[in-house]
Amino acid sequence: MYLSDRQVAQRYSVSRGTPWRWAKTDSTFPKPVELTPGCTRWRLMDLENWEQNKAEVQSYDKE
């Protein structure tokens, strides 16, 4: 399953431009995939993996 920038923004309660900024500035954030010219999406599986890794790092930092 693939998500648009609007869907990714809604998932994280951020503006539509934020996922694009994260993709450029955060090396851990999944890069979008160009499905066709003008159609770029994020893989839901990649986002879920990123969320899990982020949660594990935060849990580890609390110890």
- pLDDT at residue 43 in the model: 98
Q: 6-49: per-residue pLDDT in tens?
A: 999 999 999 999 999 999 999 999 999 999 999 999 999 999 99
Burial, 59: exposed, middle or buried (Cβ in 10 Å; 0-12, 13-18, 19+)? exposed
What is the distance between the alpha carbons of residues 59 and 37, in angstroms, rounded to a whole number?
39
For residue 63, name the pLDDT band (cuts at 50, 70, 90). Answer: low
Helices 5-12/18-25 angle, 10° precision:
90
